[in-house]
Structure 1
Amino acid sequence: MTVVITGASRGIGAGLAAHYREAGLDVMGTGRSLTADITLDVTHPSGHTEMAQALGDKPVELLVCNAGVYLDKGDDIETGYGADLWAQSFATNVTGVFLSIQALLPNLKRAGSPRIAIISSQMASSEHAPGGSYIYRASKAAVLNLGRNLATDLKSEGIAVGIYHPGWVQTDMGGDAAAITVDEAVSGLTRRFAALSLATTGCFETWDGRAHPY
C-alpha cells in the first residue's frame, strides 16, 4: 500500500508518515525541504507535475493533503489581513490541495480502494464563528467545500474523500498550550482514514470520530 502525504516534514504530517512507515507501508512524504521524499512546494504547479512523474505508474491507495499555513494568526482587523496573506494562504490551503489531487488522480484510479484525506480545521465551520483569523478560516472553509464537491464527482471513480479537523495539536502552528499531542492526533486521524469509504465519502469529522458541524 502506498501513502502520499503532503507537508510531511514536520508536525502532523511527519507524525502520519512515521506511523505508516512503522506499519510497513510505502510512504512518500512531500515537503519544501530537500530532505523530503519528494520536494514539493504545493503553490507551484510544476512541482505537482514533478511529483506525479516521480511516482510514475505506482498506485496510490491514500493521499493525505496536509500541507497548510496559518499566516494571519493574531492579525488586527484594523491593520492586518494584507492582500498578500490572502493570496499566499489560498494558494497553499486550497489551490495546493486541488493541484495535489489533480496530479495524482491517475495513481489513485490505479488503486483498489483509493481514499483522499483533506486536513481542514474546525475553523472551517460556518456554524462555529467566533471571529478573527479571517484568512485562515476562509481558506479552511474553502477546502472543506472543495472536498465535499470532489467527493460527489469522484464517487463514480471509486475514490472516497474525507475532510478532517485534526484537533488543536501541539505543533509549531498549534503552540505548546494546544489540547492534544501529535501522537494523539495521528492515532485518531489514521483510524478515521481507515474507516473512510464510498459510504462515508464527503464526511467532515474530528480526529476522534465525531461528525463536525458545517
Structure 2
Amino acid sequence: MEIILTGANRGIGAEMSAQLRARGDQVVATSRDGSTGATLDVSDPEQIARFAQAQSGPLDLLICNAGVYLDKGHVLQGGYESQLWADTFAVNVTGVFLTIQALLPALERSAAPKIAIVASQMGSSERAGGNAFIYRASKAAAVNLARNLAIELGPKNIAVGAYHPGWVQTDMGGKEADIDVATSARGLIARFDLLTPNHTGVFENYDGATIPF
C-alpha cells in the first residue's frame, strides 16, 4: 500500500512506520521537524497545502497520528489557559481535517482508499473521567469528525475509522502504561487492514474492541 503517516518521529507513529515498511508498504512518514524524511506541521495550513500538492500518485491509506496533550496535569482552578485550547485543537482537530481535505485527490486516485484517525478513548463521552478537559474535548471532536467523514465520503468508497491506541508506554503514556509501542502499533495496523466501506465509521480499540461514543 501507499501510505502517508503523520506524527511519525517517535512513539507509536515511529513504530507503525517501521512495521508497515517491514511488511513491504510504501510509507511517507511525516514529522514537524522533518526528522522522518518528510516535513509536515499539521497546524500549518499552508504547509499542508504544499505537502498535498507534491503528492502525485494514489494514496491508499492516510493515518492521522500527529497529536498533542498539552494540558496533562492541569487543575480546574487556574489551569487550561485559552492558548492551550487553540494550540491543541489546531493539531488534534483542525490539523486532522485539513490534512484529510488536502489529500482527498490522492485518496480518490486509489482503488481502495481509507483514512485512519488515531484518537483516544478519552474522547468517549460514555467513558468520561473528568480532568484533561482540552485533550478529551479535542479527541471527542476527532472521533466526531471521523464519524461524519465516514458518512460524507461513503459515496466515494473512502472508509474512515477512529482508533484508540491503548495506554502505551510512551512519553505521553508514561512507564506505567499497559502495553508497549510494538503491541499498540501491531494492533492498530491490524485494525486499519480491516477498514473497508462495509466497516466504516468505527471507533475501535487497538485490539478490535468497540469503544462507545
Q: Same fold (TM over 0.5)?
A: yes
For residues 87 and 213 of structure 1, the distance between their equivalents in structure 2, rounded to whole angstroms, comes to 26
For residues 122 and 200 of structure 1, the distance between their equivalents in structure 2, rounded to whole angstroms, comes to 19
For residues 23 and 128 of structure 1, the distance between their equivalents in structure 2, rounded to whole angstroms, comes to 35
TM-score of the two chains, using structure 1 as the length reference: 0.98
CA shift, 1:37, in A, is 2.5
CA shift, 1:53, in A, is 2.3
Q: State the partner residue of 1:76.
A: 75
Which residue identity does 2:150 align to in structure 1? Answer: A
Which residue identity does 1:4 align to in structure 2? Answer: I
Q: State the partner residue of 2:23.
A: 23
Q: State the partner residue of 2:43.
A: 43
For residues 133 and 34 of structure 2, the distance between their equivalents in structure 1, rounded to whole angstroms, comes to 32
For residues 34 and 115 of structure 1, the distance between their equivalents in structure 2, rounded to whole angstroms, comes to 24
- State how many pairs are aligned: 213
TM-score of the two chains, using structure 2 as the length reference: 0.98
Q: State the partner residue of 1:156.
A: 155
User: In percent, how many aligned pairs have the same letter?
Assistant: 54
> In the TM superposition, what are the counterparts of 1:176-195 in structure 2 within 5 Å?
176-195=175-194
For residues 160 and 34 of structure 2, the distance between their equivalents in structure 1, rounded to whole angstroms, comes to 29
CA shift, 1:82, in A, is 0.2
CA shift, 1:34, in A, is 2.6
For residues 213 and 24 of structure 1, the distance between their equivalents in structure 2, rounded to whole angstroms, comes to 33
Give the secondary-structure state (helix, strand or coil) at the position aligned to 1:199. Answer: helix
CA shift, 1:61, in A, is 0.3
CA shift, 1:33, in A, is 1.5
Q: State the partner residue of 1:196.
A: 195
Q: State the partner residue of 2:133.
A: 134
For residues 36 and 157 of structure 1, the distance between their equivalents in structure 2, rounded to whole angstroms, comes to 31
> In the TM superposition, what are the counterparts of 1:98-117 in structure 2 within 5 Å?
98-117=97-116
Give the secondary-structure state (helix, strand or coil) at the position aligned to 1:178. Answer: coil
> What is the RMSD computed on CA atoms of the aligned residues?
0.7
Give the secondary-structure state (helix, strand or coil) at the position aligned to 1:29. Answer: strand
Give the secondary-structure state (helix, strand or coil) at the position aligned to 2:175. Answer: coil
Q: State the partner residue of 1:10.
A: 10
CA shift, 1:35, in A, is 2.1
> In the TM superposition, what are the counterparts of 1:57-96 in structure 2 within 5 Å?
57-96=56-95
CA shift digits 1:76-121 (9 cap, x unpaired): 1001000000000000000000011011100000001001000010
Residues 1:210 and 2:205 are matched in the alignment? no
CA shift digits 1:176-209 (9 cap, x unpaired): 1111000000110010000001111000000000
CA shift, 1:130, in A, is 1.4
For residues 143 and 129 of structure 1, the distance between their equivalents in structure 2, rounded to whole angstroms, comes to 15
For residues 157 and 58 of structure 2, the distance between their equivalents in structure 1, rounded to whole angstroms, comes to 14
Which residue identity does 2:3 align to in structure 1? Answer: V
Structure 1: runs of 5+ lacking an equivalent:
none
CA shift digits 1:7-28 (9 cap, x unpaired): 0011111111101111111110
For residues 26 and 191 of structure 2, the distance between their equivalents in structure 1, rounded to whole angstroms, comes to 19
Which residue identity does 1:113 align to in structure 2? Answer: A
For residues 71 and 24 of structure 2, the distance between their equivalents in structure 1, rounded to whole angstroms, comes to 38
